[in-house]
């Protein structure tokens, strides 16, 4: 049996095999030559003290052989002739639902409005370079969903470790680095995610499932309170008794469709704010207590941060922080500006960005009450459209230096930021309703007190960060996971209000697929 140890070492020891082996040999009072292998089980960074340490849980193979085992894909079955389940949306919820159905022996038919990962890149270029937003293919829509061109952070607040580990292991089996299994805060990176997503699609097709791109669902057919199928933008009908609805938090046309058809939905609180960008070296110096100029050194990764405060009775917090990353234009329709962030696997860009958002309450949507369940969505849309208008009616984003924002002062200039379509200097108070501006202003001042150096005019705020989670919930029965009124319709993932990131969306996709088990006849 390998011996498990919990140790704390300096970053250079954790990073260099010979130093780590020598350290452990000394601890175990054995010779380094007798240690055959050290397997890292968990790794995290402890930056609470001035000298940053790495916490490692390791399995030490001392005087015994270590055999490497590779993670295998589950035992998928050929489902070409099996009962069919329609999945709307090929985001993490839809893809993991499809793979789970195949494991169960059911045939998934995935209908995706966007393009495959390769083709999708062209449309991302068009947003960045030409300010053209394709309403079916963008940073939120297309193969892999909103998570494909992201930082690929794979942590979640889900306490069900087993569910999380299963998803992480599937990611590894489809090509992600095994590092994600040991890191306390694993991430994949924009450069690696598309290949993994493509491998998933190829597996779905290999085992008899279908994945149709450029296929936007425009209607859901319901008879006697049971789902019968869906209709696409070309007028094609797909019949099925089970439909997993995994269209994500940005599919406003789906929310409108459900509302029109009187399929019950409800407004849901979400969070909204700005995306802040700092020099990464500044964040490193705050988080690692290192010198701004000499930097974090070669053994520590670009530092992340996470901060939360109560400001005037509302939570204000960092969201989807991307160390060494880039701010992305995430609009899904022309006439709006939306930000989010991504990072490559090495997180080696010069800037750190993070959503800094304020908790919204249902009563904040009162001015949009006439929209009923869509009030929150209309509140969100109005802010995104206002941002578009104020920045010059292109994909340029309204921007302001952080201290200037707290002092309601238009910034005299905005330096180049990572947001490729460009910035326009705007007093960001004009983008938001008064209560939101006020909370953000006070909140940044509070943040500056806990993270010394954070509140600086070197930081540039981009507005808005508005797609933090769905503004609508599609209620479902907690037992069957079917819509509360419609048999066979499974609201799933982030768009339905049951997930808040890649991992939780994937877990929810699997959960919904498992509820289709009664179709298995064998
Ligand atoms: P989505 O991923 O939104 O997928 C929904 C899919 O449905 C889309 O592909 C869409 O095209 C399709 N669709 C919509 N309407 C229709 C229709 N009518 N017909 C057919 N298809 C339709 N989360 C993390 O955990 N970590 C991160 O690092 C991270 N970074 C992010 C960075 C960016 C830039 C963005 C935009 C998001 C990021 N997120 C991150 C959030 C994460 O991507 C989402 O939480 C997750 O993708 C939700 O999964 P989902 O399957 O529920 O929905």
Query: What is each CA distance from 462 to 151, 328, 356, 417, 443, in whole angstroms?
Result: 18, 11, 10, 10, 16
pLDDT reported for residue 522? 47
Q: What's the CATH superfamily of 84-267+471-519?
A: FAD/NAD(P)-binding domain (3.50.50.60)
CA distance 203 to 197: 10
* pLDDT for res 493: 98
Q: Report domain extents, the chain.
A: 3-62, 84-267+471-519, 271-465
The whole-number pLDDT of residue 317 equals 98
Cα-Cα-Cα-Cα dihedral sign, residues 338, 340, 344, 346? positive
Between the CA of 156 and the centroid of ligand 1 the distance, in Å, is: 15
Q: How far is the CA of 256 from the centre of ligand 1 (A)?
A: 18
Reply yes or no on whether the pLDDT at 67 is more than 90: no
- pLDDT above 90 as % of the chain: 91
CA angle 24, 30, 35 (to 5 degrees): 65
| C-alpha 249 to ligand 1 mean position (Å) | 7
Using pLDDT thresholds of 50, 70 and 90, give the confidence band for residue 64: confident
Going from the Cα of 9 to the center of ligand 1, the distance in angstroms, rounded, reads 38
Question: 115: Cβ below 6 Å to ligand 1?
Answer: no
What is the model's pLDDT at position 294? 85
CATH class of 3-62: alpha beta
Q: Give the residue, out of 116, 144, 146, 355, with the most ligand 1 atoms within 8 A of its beta carbon, to mutate for a pocket test.
A: 146
Cβ of 153 closer than 6 Å to ligand 1, yes or no, is yes
User: What digits encode the pLDDT tens for the residues 352-390?
Assistant: 999 999 999 999 999 999 999 999 999 999 999 999 999
- CA 323–ligand 1 middle distance (angstroms): 20
- Is the distance from the beta carbon of residue 217 to the nearest atom of ligand 1 less than 6 Å? yes
Q: Which atom of ligand 1 is nearest to the CA of 141?
A: 11
Which residue, judged by its Cα, is nearest atom 39 of ligand 1?
A: 147
Quick check: do 3-62 and 84-267+471-519 share a fold?
A: no
The answer, yes or no, to whether residue 69 has pLDDT greater than 50, is yes
Q: Judging by DSSP bridges, how do beta strands 107-111 and 84-88 pair with one another?
A: parallel
Q: Is the pLDDT of residue 190 over 90?
A: no
- Which of 501, 503, 511, 513 has the most ligand 1 atoms within 8 A of CB, as the residue to mutate? 501
DSSP string, 255-275: HHHHHHTT---EE---EEEEE
Q: Which atom of ligand 1 approaches the CA of 254 most closely?
A: 18
Both structure tokens of 424? 């326009």
Q: Which atom of ligand 1 is nearest to the CA of 187?
A: 28
Cβ of residue 380 lying under 6 Å from some atom of ligand 1? no
Torsions phi, psi of 333, nearest 5? -140, 155
- Rounded to the nearest angstrom, the distance between the alpha carbon of 77 and the centre of ligand 1 is 27
379 exposure class (CB count in 10 Å sphere: 0-12, 13-18, 19+)? buried
User: Which three-class secondary structure state does DSSP give residue 197?
Assistant: helix
Per-residue pLDDT reduced to its tens digit, 443-492: 999 999 999 999 999 999 999 999 999 999 999 999 999 999 999 999 99
pTM exceeds 0.80, yes or no: yes
Predicted confidence at residue 521, as pLDDT, reads 60
Pocket test for ligand 1, best of 95, 136, 150, 344 (most atoms within 8 A of CB): 150
| Residue 89 in contact with ligand 1 by CB distance below 6 A | yes
């Amino acid at each position: 049996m390998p011996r498990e140890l919990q140790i704390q070492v300096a970053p250079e020891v954790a990073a260099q095999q010979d130093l780590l082996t020598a350290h452990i040999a000394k601890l175990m009072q054995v010779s380094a030559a007798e240690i055959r292998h050290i397997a890292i089980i968990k790794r995290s960074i402890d930056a609470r003290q001035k000298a940053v340490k790495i916490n490692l849980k390791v399995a030490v193979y001392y005087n015994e052989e270590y055999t490497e085992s590779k993670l295998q894909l589950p035992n998928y079955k050929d489902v070409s002739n099996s009962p069919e389940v329609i999945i709307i949306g090929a985001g993490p919820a839809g893809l993991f639902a499809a793979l789970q159905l195949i494991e169960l022996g059911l045939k998934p038919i995935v209908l995706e409005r966007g393009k495959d990962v390769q083709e999708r890149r062209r449309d991302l270029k068009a947003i960045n370079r030409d300010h053209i937003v394709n309403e079916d293919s963008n940073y939120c829509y297309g193969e892999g969903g909103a998570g494909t061109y992201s930082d690929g952070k794979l942590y979640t607040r889900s306490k069900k470790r087993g569910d999380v580990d299963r998803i992480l292991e599937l990611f590894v089996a489809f090509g992600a680095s095994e590092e994600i299994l040991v890191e306390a805060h694993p991430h994949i990176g924009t450069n690696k995610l598309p290949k993994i997503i493509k491998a998933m699609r190829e597996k779905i097709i290999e085992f008899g499932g279908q994945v149709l791109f450029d296929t936007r669902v425009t209607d859901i057919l319901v008879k006697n309170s049971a789902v019968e199928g869906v209709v696409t933008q070309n007028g094609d009908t797909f019949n099925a008794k089970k439909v997993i609805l995994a269209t994500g938090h940005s599919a406003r046309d789906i929310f409108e469709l459900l509302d029109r058809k009187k399929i019950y939905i409800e407004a849901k609180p979400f969070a909204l704010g700005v995306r802040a960008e700092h020099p990464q070296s500044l964040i490193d110096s705050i988080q690692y207590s290192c010198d701004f100029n000499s930097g974090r050194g070669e053994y520590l990764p670009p530092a992340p941060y996470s901060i939360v405060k109560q400001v005037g009775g509302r939570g204000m917090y960092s969201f989807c922080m991307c160390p060494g990353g880039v701010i992305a234009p995430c609009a899904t329709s022309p006439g709006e500006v939306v930000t989010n962030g991504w990072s490559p696997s090495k997180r080696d860009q010069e800037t750190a960005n993070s959503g800094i958002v304020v908790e919204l309450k249902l009563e904040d949507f009162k001015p949009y009450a006439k929209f009923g369940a869509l009030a929150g969505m209309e509140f969100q849309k109005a802010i995104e459209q206002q941002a578009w208008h104020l920045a010059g009616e292109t994909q340029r984003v309204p921007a302001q230096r952080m201290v200037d924002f707290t002092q309601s002062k238009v910034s005299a200039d905005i330096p180049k930021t990572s947001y490729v379509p460009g910035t326009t200097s705007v007093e960001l108070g004009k983008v938001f309703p008064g209560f939101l501006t006020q909370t953000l202003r006070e909140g940044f001042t509070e943040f500056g007190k806990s993270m010394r150096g954070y509140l600086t005019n070197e930081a540039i705020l981009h507005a808005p960060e508005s797609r933090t989670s769905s503004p609508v919930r599609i209620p479902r029965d907690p037992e069957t996971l079917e819509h509360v009124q419609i048999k066979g319709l499974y609201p799933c993932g982030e768009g339905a209000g049951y997930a808040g990131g890649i991992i939780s969306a994937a877990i929810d996709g699997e959960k919904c697929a498992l509820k289709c088990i009664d179709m298995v006849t064998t």
